Amino acid sequence: MRLKKMKSRYEFFADLQIDEWSKRIDSRINKNQNQSYWKIINHIRTTVAIANAYTLRYQESYKLVSIWKNSLEPGLGDVLRRGHSFGKFTWPFVCILLRVREFLKSYISYFLRRLDFSTQGKDNRK
């Protein structure tokens, strides 16, 4: 169930066209004076690139990272930039590693929450 939930979340962002979305709000915001606009756009660009990598759309994610390379956020954006610098042939491995990372992050935290640490180290004898 959790894998299906993660996959649907990333598929939504993978289908998002950031250029079309930003064109709708460009006329309403003065981009030159508003730093928060670019911060939000860069966050969405990073999320879309990660979502395409997570859903294993290799060509699309590689193309997006090559276009937005300088505007990706720190963190996973750095991972995408580093993977892009290694070239097109290693890009599928970067995408698979991102997917494994999200899988492990989700399931390890899921199982750790289920463990009961409240009685650990206590002497239950009276």
First to last CA, the chain: 43
Identify the DSSP state of 72.
P
* Separation of CA 1 from chain center: 20
Residue 86, number of CB atoms within 10 A of its CB: 11
pLDDT of residue 1: 45
What is the full per-residue pLDDT of the chain (126 aa) written as tens digits?
455 555 566 666 666 666 666 677 667 776 666 777 788 888 888 888 888 888 888 888 898 899 888 888 888 888 889 989 998 899 999 889 888 888 888 777 777 777 766 555 555 555
Q: What is the pTM of this model?
A: 0.68
